[in-house]
Structures are given as C-alpha cells and as structure tokens.
Structure 1
Amino acid sequence: MKIVSLSTLAGASLMLVVGGACAEQYLPEIASKAPYKKAYAEMLSHPTWVSKAQGTASPVEKVSAEGKSFTVGHMCKPHDCADNQLIVVFNADGTKSWGLLATRPADGEAFSKQLLGNPDSVVQGLLNKSFSDNNPED
C-alpha cells in the first residue's frame, strides 16, 4: 500500500512541475528560443518580392483624400500578379507608409488581405480603392 501511495504522490508531483513550468513561461521568452524563434520570425516576415520591393509594378499615382496628398503604388509578385499583390500609400512627404497585402490560395478562392502600418479609415479607403481598381472582377 505504501508503494502505491508513493508512486501516486511522485506522479502527481511530476505533473505539477511540468504544469508549473508551462505556466511560468511568457511570449517574449519563448519567442527568442528554439523552436519558437524560427516560427515567430516566419510569422512576421514577408516574401522577398514584398520586403525588398522587387515586384512587377505600374506607375505610382498622386491622390488627394480629405484635403491631404498621398502617393499610391501597386506591385505584384512577378509571374503571379493575379494572386499576390501589394498596395502601398505614402503620406505627402514620404515619411510614413501603409499597405494592403493581398494573397490568394492556388485554388482561386477569395483574397486574404492584411493591412500593414495601422492605416486610418482614410488610408484604408485609398488602399481598398486601389485594390478594387486593379481587381475589377474580385
């Protein structure tokens, strides 16, 4: 009987240690350690054509919205424009930018859209208009 009680107690203690170890970890800690570090970096990274601005593009446009001037540009992944697009809006002096990254799975489903740079409603409108202008059938 004593042996069963000791093994039960040891098992319960081990469960508490394992459970406690998980409860004491925080995102900044695990995001800097393997295997989490790689997954975290991949989540935050963008394809090369986006991060290095090496896509197929059309000329930028100067536009105005609510009394402010902006520059709007459209770019897509080379050889895959139909499914991978980036629209970028710059403020008048080019010191701030916002984007809309639109990607579509190979099965032709709807675009998945990701806003970049925390645009306000005015800039979101410019991003969405540019996307619509470049994708009249979507």
Structure 2
Amino acid sequence: MKQRLKIFTLACTIVCGTMTAAAAPPTTQDLLNTSGFRQAYKTMITLPAWVVSGKGTSTPVEYFTQKGKTYALGHMCKPHDCAAQQLELVLATDHSGSWGLLSIKANNALKQTVLGSPTPEIEKALRDAYTKNNPSD
C-alpha cells in the first residue's frame, strides 16, 4: 500500500508539475530560440539580396552638406525591377554612418522601411530623394 501511495504521489507531482509548466506561456525569446520560429524571424529581418550585396542599378551620387558635414546621396534599384524595388542611400563621406530608405511596391501598395536610424534631417533627404526619383507617385 505504501509503495502504491509513493508511486501515486510521484505521478501526481510529475503530472501537476507538467500541467503548471504547460499553463505558463513561453516568452518571445523562448519562441525565437526554436528552429521553426527562428527561421521565420530571420526571414522577417532579411533584406533583399541586391540591397545586401550593393549590386543594383544605380545613378551617380549627389553631395550635400548638413551641419558642416558632407554626405553622398545615392539611388539604387533592383536590376530589371526598378519600378518595384528601390533604395535611397545617404553615406557620410567621413565613413561615420549610412542610412537608407528601402521602397518596395507590391499589389498597388508601397512599403517603405527606414534603415540605420537616421536623424530627422537625413530621413527627410531620403524621402525627398525618393519623391524626386518617382515623380508620378
């Protein structure tokens, strides 16, 4: 009888402990540490290959000065798909930073992603460049 009680108690402890653990939802980090979620997460933060490689159709840069610092402003797009995928890029000529505006059109919708945490002035330069390069939008 005591043996059965010990087994029953052990079984209850295991089952109850499992139920308690199952009732608590995982954290976001827990999910991102599992293979399926990790792959989906990496896909979400992946930039197009032509952006990562810096190999797109491009135009000559323009230089501008802001607060005594010189920047190069460039435009690049996905080869053979310039109307749908474009990147405006600002590069500090002293190599201290770079910022971008990635614009992707799909299903008659425009999605723009700001890259590199630009200052409001640099972001304005990026958005103005997009407007200049896409006058019909």
User: Residues 115-126 of structure 1 correspond to what in structure 2 (within 5 A)?
Assistant: 115-126=114-125
User: Per-residue deviation at 1:61?
Assistant: 1.2
Helix, strand or coil at the partner of 1:112:
strand
The range that moved more, 60-69 or 34-43, is 60-69
Instruction: Report matched runs for 1:1-138 at 5 Å.
Output: 16-20=20-24, 22=25, 25-105=26-106, 107-109=107-109, 111-138=110-137
Structure 2: tracts of 5 or more residues without a match: 1-15
Paired residue total: 123
Percent identity (aligned): 34
Q: CA deviation at 1:54?
A: 1.2
TM-score, with length taken from structure 1: 0.80
Distance in 2, Cα, partners of 1:122 & 1:80: 29
Unaligned runs of 5+ in 1: 1-12
Cα pair 1:86 1:101 within 8 Å, conserved? yes
> What does the per-residue CA deviation read over 1:6-35, in whole Å, with 9 as the maximum and x for residues that have no partner?
xxxxxxx57644222x2xx33333213211
CA–CA distance in structure 1, aligned partners of residues 35 and 136 of structure 2: 44
TM-score (norm 2): 0.80
Give SS of 2:117's match.
coil
State the distance in 1 between where 2:90 and 2:119 align.
11
